A and B are shown apart, each in its own frame.
Chain A
Amino acid sequence: MLALDDVSMNFGGVAALRNVTFAMDEGETLGLIGPNGAGKTTLFNVISGVLTPSAGRLEFAGKPLGKAANWRRARQGIGRTFQIPQPMHELTVRENLMVAQRFGAGRTDGRRIDEILDLLDLTAKQHIDAAHGLALTEQKALEVGKALAVEPRLLMLDEVLGGLETATKRAFGQTLQRVRERYGLTMIVIEHDIETIKTLCPRVVVLNFGELIADGTPDEVFNDARVIRSYTGDSAA
């Protein structure tokens, strides 16, 4: 479904990604973790076409992504969220989803929009302005809703649980599980909450200073000495 081959991203003299290589199968859910500044969001930006990699190749659904613009990648089936919610504030909650579906998926299907709103508990808020009256959880839900409305084959979630209190985080994590089961998506999840990663992701990839340092099951990865070192900074670990 997705393959990265030797992908690097440099900002001037800073290497944000160094020769990152991994592949994902259809229907797989991958946790992407690493300390702050490890290059996780940069990797999302490269896959979604916000950034053009300095080197390397990306393939999606068997075809090279090349330098396709981000709006074309959305139409090819790559949906993503942002750490800080990015609603289209001049539109209502429902219109946000409608635009995403019409231009991302290339079709209009009100029932699917109703379903997404229901799944994300946004039905009661669908006609309000996206700029006002949404709690943080609802803003995060709208962020996921927009990405789902694109009808993606690959959904990339960038810290959608960040900033939420524990109970809300658990509930929202369950919502994400329902989303995955309902639509059978391939997912990449950036998340700092280890429990959420363990629950959602059978496979975890770890980045540190832009380098892929571990790739395996949660148990393998969380017991990996390099991963522990990357988080603790302890060279003796």
Chain B
Amino acid sequence: MFELTLQAVYSGLLAGGWYAMVALGLALVFGTMRIINLAHGELVLLAAYVAFEMERSFGLNPIAAIPVALVVVGLTALLVYFLIGRIRHDRELNSLILTFGIAIVLTNVILMTWSADIRSTSVGWFMDGAVIADTLFSMNSEVLFFGAGVALVGGTYWWLNHTWHGRALRAVSSNRNAAMLMGVNPARVEAMSFVVSAVLATVSGVALYTASVVFPALGHGLTIKAFVITVLAGLGSVPGVLLGAVILGVGETMTATFAKPSLQELTGMVIFLLILFLRPSGLFGRKVVGK
């Protein structure tokens, strides 16, 4: 029983590192633009399919496909940003409709380009087992991308706190009007948040492809997970995103281990409702008065 629990926590932790990468991209855009990019999961999925295509057509290792995926996902993210910028009235609400539409378009582009077949990497190393302390099992790809996730989330945290672009992003996230009157160009900051979000989506998409199977309808579920984590974390908190992602990951694996695997997806929704009832500002969120 103890070993089973330990294994569930370990697997959940690894999943959490990956979830954090997915969620942080959504949280950054949400923080700067106050919009929820409902196409974020599809951007992650697009990166996975680009990695698949590079492997199938050119025999590239998925990790080597990251630069190509980054260009494709980055340009797509900037297109989403450009379209959102065309919204003239009630951007917060209308962007939901727009990004939902973009998500449907992207899903269908993926479907038409790569069919509905399930895809996974043929590079065996990713699926090989890594064993820790004789008892904890995982795939190499899970460990690799957990490390990448923690490094990217940590790097983003450092970037936000120690660079001028990061501070500008936090300034716009804090108070857009005040930041503008301090000389910060919000359009540039918002575009930057989309680019950073695209980098996180690309790495997490390639990770998804190496650790699991992908299919065109997967994106929507990824967006929901990212949104649950963003709400759980509280707006504007990078450590909160990491902790929220680990809570969701461990919650899911515990549910799968001790209840039913089919109930795993329900965990996020239960956590989501609990946090909305008990702590709507999230674990690390702040109540802002008079903003």
Contacts and interface: CB of A to CB of B under 8 A. Distances in A.
Q: Do A and B bind each other?
A: yes
Interface of A: 48, 50, 69-71, 74-75, 79-80, 82, 84-91, 95-96, 98-100, 102-106, 131, 146-147, 149-150
Contacts of B178: 82, 86-88, 146
Contacts of B179: 88, 99
Contact of A91 (B170, B186, B290): B170
A89 B181 contact: no
Nearest to B31: A90
A71 B180 contact: yes
A88 B181 contact: no
A222 to B, nearest CB: 31
A89 B291 contact: yes
Contact of A90 (B173, B183, B186): B173
B177 A99 contact: no
Chain B binding site: helix, strand, loop or mixed by DSSP? helix
Interface of B: 164, 167-168, 170-171, 173-175, 177-186, 236, 286, 288, 290-291
B254 to A, nearest CB: 33
A131 B286 contact: yes
B233 to A, nearest CB: 14
Nearest to B161: A95
A74 B171 CA distance: 15
Nearest to A143: B178
Nearest to A106: B183
A150 B286 CA distance: 27
A105 B177 contact: no
Nearest to A104: B183
Contact of A71 (B164, B167, B174, B185): B185
Given A71-B186, A90-B174, A103 B181 contact: no
